[in-house]
Structure formats: structure tokens, C-alpha cells
């Protein structure tokens, strides 16, 4: 936070925050002949695909069918509903008001009183509750259980999702795990899918409005000093 300003956050910041809170990191891989950056997490006792340098892939949505079969184990972060939380809503007022970066300093007739010719104001963020399902998938039950042990240490009944806002400052938002569900699908005799799903909700906030500038200079004549 610089000069009294606070950063902005939006949906993708929480998506990434869920991944990084569980320890995921950005790595560069080759996918479909191109070099791309993806998230992967290191989990003790679980070896991820070679494409991910042994890390377990963390995808923000269901991967393409062409890559699904061999990208196991994997973690899928699926975002669900976003519900306004009016009990946290603060009508009126603003989050901050600071002199605009290009404002001048207005000196009053007394030669002492000063005020900026323009201010930057940011309205309050809108409070939301965002639901997530974190799918932990593996071919072996032991791998799935180790993945659950790793992720579960971050997302329990009471936890937090950590992220960085547009100013680069770290924030923490309360997160609540509602259930740990068993996942088991039998596609055919040779292809077993084991795993767990953690359903959770995050007490988030979303910035729909950009900070805006407002003039403050009075109509009567005052001397103006250029801001240093």
C-alpha cells in the first residue's frame, strides 16, 4: 500500500490464491508443442507427470480431454457460485481518498492552509462468498490420500486464502471447508480414478469500480504550488 492507496482484487486473484495457498508454483512446460506457464504443487510421496517436472498439476478448470488421461495425478480447482454477502456490505463512504498523483497544492489566503487540486477516491469493494470445489485425482488410493493430507492442512473448517492485490500487497481471506467427499469412478477394468473433493467457500470481495479522480479546487482565487 503506497500513499494511502489500497490495491484491487477480482475473481482471478482468488482463483490463483486458492492454488498458491496450497503451495502451487508457476513452472514452464511444453504443451501441444508450445511453452506455457502452469501451476504445479510438490507433494511428498506423490510424483506428478513428467510434463510437470514431477509436480502435481493444478488446473483452474477441467483440462482438455486430449490431456486428461495421462495428466494424473492432478488437482482441479473449480469455481462455483458467487453470492453477495450483504451483512458485510458498507453502503456510502469510500475505501480511501488521497491526493491524485498529478495534483497541485493549493495554498489559502493565510499562506498556511493547503489542499490538493484533485483527489483520487476508491469506493468500497463488493463483499461476496465464492464457492470452490477442489478435486484431488489419482490412479492409486495412496496417492489420493497423500494429496488430501497435503491440501487439507491449508483448507479445513477454518482457514484462509492468501493472495496479492494489484499493489502487490498480500491479503488473507477467511475460507471454510464444508465437506470432504470421496471420489471414485470406475471407467473400465484398467482405468481406475481415485480421489477426494474438498468443497469450500471464501469470504471474498470484488472490485467492480476503478478509482476515480475528483477536483477539489474552490472557485475563489488561491495561489497554487506545483507538487514536488
d(CA 153, CA 192): 26
Q: Do 57 and 40 form a contact (C-beta atoms < 8 A)?
A: yes
Does residue 228 carry a pLDDT above 50?
A: no
Check the CA dihedral 219-220-226-228 and report its sign.
negative
pLDDT digits (tens, 9 = 90+) for 64-110: 544 444 578 999 999 999 999 998 887 877 777 777 677 667 775 56
Polymer length in residues for the chain: 228
Q: What are phi and psi of 88, to 5 degrees?
A: -105, 5
In words, the CATH class of domain 11-91+124-208 is alpha beta
Q: Where are the domains of the chain?
A: 11-91+124-208
Amino acid at each position: 500500500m503506497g500513499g494511502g492507496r489500497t490495491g484491487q482484487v477480482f475473481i482471478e486473484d482468488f482463483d490463483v490464491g486458492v492454488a498458491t495457498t496450497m503451495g502451487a508454483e508457476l513452472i514452464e512446460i511444453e504443451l501441444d508443442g508450445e511453452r506455457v506457464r502452469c501451476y504445479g504443487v510438490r507433494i511428498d510421496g506423490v510424483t506428478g507427470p513428467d510434463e510437470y517436472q514431477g509436480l502435481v498439476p493444478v488446473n483452474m478448470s477441467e483440462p482438455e480431454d486430449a490431456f486428461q488421461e495421462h495428466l494424473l495425478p492432478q488437482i482441479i480447482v473449480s469455481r462455483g457460485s458467487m453470492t453477495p454477502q450483504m451483512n458485510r456490505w458498507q453502503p456510502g463512504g469510500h475505501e480511501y481518498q488521497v491526493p491524485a498523483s498529478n495534483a497541485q497544492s493549493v495554498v489559502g489566503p493565510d499562506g498556511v492552509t493547503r489542499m490538493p487540486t484533485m483527489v483520487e477516491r476508491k469506493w468500497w469493494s463488493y463483499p461476496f462468498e465464492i464457492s470452490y470445489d477442489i478435486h484431488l485425482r489419482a490412479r492409486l488410493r495412496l496417492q489420493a490420500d497423500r494429496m488430501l493430507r497435503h491440501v487439507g492442512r491449508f483448507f479445513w473448517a477454518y482457514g484462509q486464502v492468501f493472495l496479492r492485490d494489484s499493489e502487490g500487497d498480500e491479503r488473507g481471506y477467511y475460507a471454510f471447508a464444508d465437506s470432504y467427499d470421496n471420489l471414485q469412478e470406475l471407467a473400465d477394468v484398467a482405468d481406475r480414478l481415485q480421489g477426494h473433493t474438498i468443497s469450500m467457500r471464501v469470504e471474498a470481495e470484488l472490485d467492480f469500480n476503478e478509482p476515480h479522480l475528483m477536483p477539489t479546487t474552490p472557485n475563489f482565487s488561491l495561489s497554487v504550488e506545483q507538487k514536488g
